Chain A
Amino acid sequence: MMGSLRRTDTTNTADVNPGDTIIELSNVAFGYTAANVVKDISLSIDAGEYVAVVGPNGSGKSTLMKLILGLLRPDAGEARLFDEPSHAFDDGSRIGYVAQHASTSKNMPITVREVVKMGRFPHVGFGRLSEEDWEIVDRSLDAVGMTAFADRRVTRLSGGQRQRAFIARALAGEADLLVLDEPTVGVDAESVDAFYDLLETLNHDGITILLIEHDLGAVVDRAERVVCLNREVYFDGPTTEFAESDALSRAFGATASVLSDSQ
């Protein structure tokens, strides 16, 4: 056991208390063109929650995530992050972000350790990584089982291995909020289970988790709260109620079920 992945330095950011509102959307609408991709989204996520956003392909899940992170600005309504307008929020050390990277291929020569190192950049700014920063990098590598691959070129890894590296980068950031956009796409089934266990442990440590997922099975088993999305919010509540509600069939269409959609 290498010690905690949770932040070891509490000096650089104001700590969040459980129950503080981290993400708040009120009546948000957004469209890349005149047509709205998402509309009437009101959502509030508190510190310490484990929330999964589910919805069919093209339902606006990724757009919602970008609005939350401030990568997009809402056409209507307001998006707030850590009690600041999302687009103005710039304390990157509080957010860990894992995207659907596994499918992207870049020809850039860069090792797994160099990728994970980037997780520390918001903490070091223009400076150099301290010994402690490097320890955190190594611990994060260890947590995702990639220590043996630390000096491998990322471009020569399998999709699953690459995704582990990106997850390690998010861990190395020691963030208060982890945002993951379909993080297990391309990851082998065995690692997927272990990965969700890891998220659960992080959540128990007090990290807020926002998971965008297409794999409904994984979500129903793990998250405390589900937001079901298809342009609008169809359901927002405890996972147990979600399974019993008809939100799923309304959002996904009549034929969808938890099992058939899990692949």
Chain B
Amino acid sequence: MILAMAQSLQAGPIDVLLGPLYVFLELWSEFLFLLAGITGLELLTFKFMHRAILVGLCIGVMAPLIGTFLVHRQLALIGDALAHTAFAGVAVGLFLNAVLNLGVSPYLTAVVVAMIAALFIEIISETTDAYNDVSMAIILSTGFALGTVLISLNAGGLSVSVNQYLFGNLATVSVENAAILLVLFAVIIAVVGLTRNQLLYVTFDETAAQVSGLSVSWYNRVMVVLTALVVVGAMQIMGVILVAAMLVVPVAGATQISKSFTQSILVSIVLAELAVLLGIGAAYYGEATAGGVIVLFAVGIYVLAVVVGKVWMTAGETTSPELGAIDSNDTDPASD
């Protein structure tokens, strides 16, 4: 907490860039104070909760959005691997701050390290022709081991603040880190918005996507880098260990009750937001770690979705439409 405050007081070039976002955060805070006045909810009267809620809402959109593509490519584990390498990035940041007194947010170094690890995983899989469980496990362990070693080398007071990265913390979302998250959020939404067709094609049918002229390896790289960004963004609240759950659990729930792909993305976002808001609320009043509570809510919602999905399926599949004839007359040569 003190560390984070000390950082936010040092106005570096990053603070200048993030300036407009600080203004936005102030406005958001004003809005929630207003909401607190109307609803009388105690948790809305604290500024750090305002930031935590905003970060939570962003996580609820970006994690299932990226997670939908990952889960349907059977890449659910990659989030976990990247989270653990992001932890190494956090350690690098803390180390640099301690040794060189740089004052960079550890989340920025985490972004860099996780992105490098993401590309590394992708390139390994390209050269070996498969996403390899073993290489993923090795990268996961390497990242985590590197993180713990760097932090223990630092010794002293630093080990105290490690818990916030491992398990996440609502109270330590600094203004700077909230602003960084908003930037990550904007980048993720923009890239997915632009490449949604390509990502869908590559996710659903890699071979056909390649035949249709898409550079599959390029879009795979985009995908893993986006995953790295989501993981680092969501880490603040969810923590290294549980962050991957937000990529997977809401998506698994949405898969049970959605018919179309578009619908499944929207449903997974709704489910994730539900889990985030219920989780933050319960964590605040119950004085529990938010990451864990959010994941438990997400899993509860998933179980509900499975039940609802099964009920719908048995109720809805009784009627089957008539299969039409393959009609070659539809291809009218005259208009050619």
A211 to chain B, nearest CB (A): 15
B194 contacts partner chain A, Cβ-Cβ < 8 Å: yes
Q: What are 18 A-to-B residue pairs whose CB atoms are below 8 Å? A: A5-B330, A6-B331, A92-B213, A109-B255, A109-B263, A122-B212, A126-B194, A126-B197, A143-B326, A143-B328, A145-B323, A145-B324, A145-B325, A148-B324, A191-B326, A194-B328, A197-B326, A201-B328
Residues of B within 8 Å of A5, CB to CB, are: 330-332
Q: How far is the CA of A107 from the CA of B200 in the complex (A)?
A: 14
Chain A contact patch, size range: 35 or more
Contact status A3-B335, CB under 8 Å? yes
Residues of B within 8 Å of A205, CB to CB, are: 331, 333, 336
Q: How far is the CA of A142 from the CA of B331 in the complex (A)?
A: 11
Residues of A within 8 Å of B72, CB to CB, are: 106-108
Residues of A within 8 Å of B261, CB to CB, are: 108-111, 114
A186 contacts partner chain B, Cβ-Cβ < 8 Å: no
Residues of B within 8 Å of A149, CB to CB, are: 321, 323
Contact status A122-B204, CB under 8 Å? no
**Which residues of B are at the interface with A, using a C-beta cutoff of 8 A?**
72, 194-195, 197-198, 200-201, 203-205, 207-208, 210-215, 254-255, 258-264, 317, 321-336
**The 5 A-B residue pairs with the shortest CB-CB distance in the complex, in nearest-first order:** A92-B213, A145-B324, A92-B212, A148-B321, A194-B326
Residues of A within 8 Å of B332, CB to CB, are: 1, 3-6
Residues of B within 8 Å of A95, CB to CB, are: 211-212
| A84-100 Cβ-contact flags toward B at 8 Å (1 or 0) | 00000111110101010
Contact among A114, A118, A194, A197 with B260 in the assembled complex (CB-CB below 8 Å):
A114
Chain A contacts with B in 66-108, Cβ cutoff 8 A: 69, 71, 89-93, 95, 97, 99, 101, 106-108
Q: How far is the CA of A114 from the CA of B335 in the complex (A)?
A: 27
A6 nearest in chain B by CB position: B336
Prevailing SS type, chain B contact patch: helix
Residues of B within 8 Å of A2, CB to CB, are: 330
Contact status B212-A145, CB under 8 Å? no
Contact status A92-B214, CB under 8 Å? yes
Contact status A109-B197, CB under 8 Å? no
Q: How far is the CA of A153 from the CA of B254 in the complex (A)?
A: 14
| A125-156 Cβ-contact flags toward B at 8 Å (1 or 0) | 11000000000000100111111110111001
Contact status A201-B322, CB under 8 Å? no
A173 contacts partner chain B, Cβ-Cβ < 8 Å: yes
A223 contacts partner chain B, Cβ-Cβ < 8 Å: no
Residues of B within 8 Å of A92, CB to CB, are: 211-214
B264 nearest in chain A by CB position: A109
A164 contacts partner chain B, Cβ-Cβ < 8 Å: yes
B326 nearest in chain A by CB position: A194
Contact status A114-B211, CB under 8 Å? no
A202 contacts partner chain B, Cβ-Cβ < 8 Å: yes
- Besides the contacts A90-B215, A109-B260, A118-B205, what 17 more A-B pairs have beta carbons closer than 8 Å? A2-B330, A4-B331, A4-B334, A6-B335, A71-B210, A92-B213, A107-B72, A108-B72, A108-B261, A109-B259, A109-B263, A111-B259, A142-B324, A143-B326, A148-B323, A201-B333, A202-B331
